[in-house]
Structure 1
Amino acid sequence: MYFQHAAAIRSEHPDLVAAAVTVTGITSTADVEEQVRRFTAIASGRLADGTESDLPEIKAWRQAFSKMGLRPTQYRCASEALLRRLRKEGGLPRIHPLIDLCNAVSVAFAIPVAALDLEHIHGDLEVRHATGEEEYVTFSDTIEHPEPGEVIFADAAGASHARRWTNRQSGSSAVRPATSRVLIVAEALHPSAAEDVTALMKSLVAELSAVWQATPTAAVLTAAAPRFAA
């Protein structure tokens, strides 16, 4: 399968830079507490003199959400929501070692990071505008249909694995205790996105290799090289 952003998305958001990582051998018993502490400490340091809305990475996503007709304070990108929780509560929830690691890396870089179970993605995965016919499964197992034109992660079977782009991930491909093979996606729009996404990807690959003794495959995706073969 491959992962990519549709040409229309890249045309509307020319500053978009993404990273894609696949890895096999994930388990739910790994210990990532040291990594979580290290990355969340970086995030807390960045929040010491302000709020998440002051960060250039978050400002860029807010502008993108406004461009899509969404109220940025009603629909926050995933990294902003996590940073807000970290600032208010002093920590992040523990869900699964891989998710905990991805969330910690996300707040450190203030860049949305999604982890999807590849066993529940059918065929190729593309970030594109919804037709309105796709099915999105919530974490409570109810089915929604994204609004026509909404930016989603859509697979070849018409399943939506995210709504409102980086705002809300689907329960259908969520990482679970039995998950072994995953696709991790990070996306950014701010001026230094190319450098920061590359640094995030390298950090994540290093941690995945160390924690799970795995060999990830990774690439930075740009308009010139938009497709990642998983």
Structure 2
Amino acid sequence: MRFRHTDAIWSDHPHLAVGALHATGVSRAADVGPRVAEYTARALARLADAPEGRFPEVLAWRRAFARMGLKPTQYRCASESLLRRLRKEGTLPRIHPVVDLCNAVSVAYAVPVAVLDADRVTGPLLEVRHARGDEEYTTFGGGTEHPAPGEVTYADSAGRAHARRWTNRQSGHSAVGDHTSRVFVVVEAVHDGGTDTVAKALRTIARELTEHWRVTPATALLTSSAREFTFSDEPLSGTRAAP
């Protein structure tokens, strides 16, 4: 499987920073509660000083959404939505240990983290690109939508859209659940200094997966000069240490 952002995405968002991770061997059999609490406490401490709408990481995504013609306070990036919920409710929803960890890391670093069931993505290519309008997106309620032409989405080789409005909403089709054994994780940022933030978040996720599931993730930082991540179904094939 190859993962990349198109040239047009890199051109439109020159500050884009991307981290990608693939791991095999995850399940629900892990107690991630203490680590989730640690990362959410870090986010709550930051929220005590300022609301998420003033975070540089969030403001950069709002500007990116505005450039895409979206109302930033109507369509929020995933990390802003999680931070907003955490500020209001003091906790995050429990979904699946891998998702719970990634959501907690997302609020700790204030950047979107996408977690997909890799077996629900059709290869050989998963691409972040502008939609044609004929891609099929499955809602969490089981309905079908079509991204608007020009909307940024995660599109696989079968024409499935695994996200709406880039980092706004993931697809129910590739959501992690009881059946999941392989995950593909993407961390994205568009603020100044985003490369360092993404590297830290990616390293944190890789470490947590290793500690809780004894897996060896393959990871990569993608840049404008190294834009593609290739991973195998084999858990140790092409494995690289987290940056």
TM bucket normalised to smaller: over 0.9
CA distance in 1, matches of 2:78, 2:95: 15
**Residue number in structure 1 paired with 2:211:** 210
**Residue number in structure 1 paired with 2:137:** 136
CA distance in 2, matches of 1:117, 1:201: 17
The 5-angstrom pairing of residues 35-50 of structure 1 reads: 35-50=35-50
**Residue number in structure 2 paired with 1:120:** 120
Structure 1 stretches of at least 4 aligned residues deviating more than 3 Å after TM superposition:
none
Residue 47 of structure 1 aligns with an amino acid whose one-letter code is L
Aligned residues of 1:43 and 1:108 also touching (Cα < 8 A): yes
1:120-164 superposed Cα distances (whole Å, 9 cap, x missing partner): 100110000000000001011111011000000000110000000
1:36-80 superposed Cα distances (whole Å, 9 cap, x missing partner): 011001101111111001100000000000000000000000000
Q: Alignment identity in percent?
A: 57
CA distance in 2, matches of 1:4, 1:187: 12
CA distance in 1, matches of 2:176, 2:226: 27
**Residue number in structure 2 paired with 1:89:** 89
The 5-angstrom pairing of residues 33-182 of structure 1 reads: 33-123=33-123, 124-182=125-183
1:16-53 superposed Cα distances (whole Å, 9 cap, x missing partner): 00000000001012110011011001101111111001
TM-score by length of 1: 0.99
Q: Shift of residue 178 of structure 1? A: 1.2
Gaps of 5+ in 1: none
Residue 136 of structure 2 aligns with an amino acid whose one-letter code is E
Residue 66 of structure 1 aligns with an amino acid whose one-letter code is A
SS in 2 for 1:203: helix
SS in 1 for 2:158: coil
The 5-angstrom pairing of residues 14-33 of structure 1 reads: 14-33=14-33
Q: Shift of residue 176 of structure 1? A: 0.7
Aligned residue pairs, count: 230
SS in 2 for 1:219: strand
CA distance in 1, matches of 2:213, 2:187: 20
1:4 aligns to 2:4 (yes or no): yes
Aligned residues of 1:28 and 1:178 also touching (Cα < 8 A): no
1:163-196 superposed Cα distances (whole Å, 9 cap, x missing partner): 0000010000000111000100000001010111
Aligned residues of 1:132 and 1:146 also touching (Cα < 8 A): yes
**Residue number in structure 2 paired with 1:197:** 198
Gaps of 5+ in 2: 232-243
CA distance in 1, matches of 2:95, 2:154: 22
Residue 89 of structure 1 aligns with an amino acid whose one-letter code is E
CA distance in 2, matches of 1:201, 1:103: 12
Residue 199 of structure 1 aligns with an amino acid whose one-letter code is K
SS in 1 for 2:53: helix
TM-score by length of 2: 0.94
CA distance in 2, matches of 1:197, 1:42: 17
Q: Shift of residue 223 of structure 1? A: 0.4
